[in-house]
Chain A
Amino acid sequence: MTAPTLKIENLKLGFKNWAGVSNVLHGISLHIKKGERVALVGESGSGKSVTARIVLGMLQQLKTARISGSVEFEGINLETLKPASRHALRGTRMSMIFQDPTSSLNPVYTIFALFKEVLARAEPGITSERARQRAIEALADVAINEPERVLDSYSFQLSGGMNQRVMIAMALANNPALLLADEPGTALDVTVQAQTLKLMSELVEKHQTSVLFISHNLGVVREFADRVYVIYKGNIVEQGATAELFANPQHPYTRALLSAVPRITGGGIPDLDDDPGQFLAPLVAHPSYSEKERLA
């Protein structure tokens, strides 16, 4: 049995401030098997983005961050790596897609300049010719039919949807093992978001890329993810295979979430009246999932 691509165990995070430490993650555990697409769903501020940032090692350098627990990537505990080796994983074995593609692409450099920089992460000293050729191939994968024009453009000259395709192409260009998609394309309009997600979905399937799909859109999660973790205030409250979790939510928070969402449109996370008494009830792990776990 090969090691899971990502295995987070009892991850805790707090931020030190003048009043002491405010805890943001209270010991979350999750894992993603090779080629699996796992969603992390929760309302804004529940700790989704910080989880992704810890996986990339970006919060560790923050002096105020207090982190404990373990993060294993392809069977290696990342804490045991030297900072340089850990840094070397970014943009090569792990990559990330963001909420707003247009503002995630530096406005003073062409798409090609950025693309080359990304490619150089895996292939230092890559020549411009080779980078261009590889970028064109990568753009073809995301169904961009004028790659030359796109490469010579700046992000502000392209549409949001085009930038999102570029971002997806960049994220997958170095064939990473893990893709962290933090509310990808939430800033885009709904149809464009759906198109680009479909593209991303096909590509990760083709390359057997594992995905941590962060979202607060239950409709999108339902379509895209194999498995779902529901996070509430830094606690995973329910986990299970997508179909099962949606069909048979057990945890009070998940139930409240699902019953509040219009079934057909399946929009974003609704505004729930907070009810920590119930919502902080213990984790519910769906049995089928636990069985699979035992087999794994």
Chain B
Amino acid sequence: MAEKQFVADSAVLRSIYERAALLKANDERARKVILSGQIAMVYYSYRGQEIIPSVMGEVLRDDDTICTIYRGIHDMLGKGFPLNELWAELIGRTTGSCKGKGGPMHLTYPPKGIMVTTGIVGSSAPIANGLAWAAQLDGSDRVSVCTFGDGASNIGAVHEAMNLAAVWKLPTIFVCQNNLFAEHTTFEKMTAGKNIANRAEGYGIPGVRVDGNDPEAMYSAFAEAVARARAGEGPTLLECMTFRFFGHNFGDDDSYIPKEQKAAAMEADPVPALRARLIADRIATEEELAAVEAEIETRIDGAIEHALASPWPEPDDLRFDVFAQEIAA
């Protein structure tokens, strides 16, 4: 397949930006409401990693599935998770997508193909294979994406999953978001070979290291992986290089991130960079983008308002959803 096929044109770049602007604004708002004490929740900021899921959202269809991780709200929003159901779940209300039972680490929204969010490092990968197998069985060309971090690339489950996907030629796309840190551990120190994409070679599948903060590079790599999967050519491992601007979770003392490294990453913030590019290349005007951003803020305001006005679950709700059949009181 010729790489040239997968070029992000102006309309695609603009759409990627609009998604990224939503992701960025939602993260900023989440940190703001936690800091102000308005809302208490466990929160894993993805600030700095927005381009990867914005591209994925651009390429994927609603019937394509994704399995993501605790640091995954960007993946979900990119895939179309509705804001009302998201915020209500974050705040633990009955109108949340999981009725308040799952919370930030287990957000799920099947109508948009958001099938699993796991808090267990590496566990997104094996399950994605089952979704891919089902697509194969259904005779559908839908694809199955799993995302995970660089740290997760050292869990056995991820390797078992890549081997199985290769052997069965599954339409699974393994998206490693390499943000260079796993909690306080640096990628360099704990990942032998210092390259995750290379590991694909051992499984005989394509492994591509791509600048995940570069929308064009990310688009062409991801769209190619999806096209391969849709065409029945099997899995791809993408190692998307990025950086998380803040600590592992909200409240984490992030002093272990070298100051210069953090400053340089923030200086190269991929979201404003894409914005500037759109304006410089006359793909959009300042006014148009400002209007998009203002609308995003209004939508987030509305979602938080809706969430806060929604009812809390009742203890009796614990009897439901353990099994299909309720547990006797």
A binds B: no
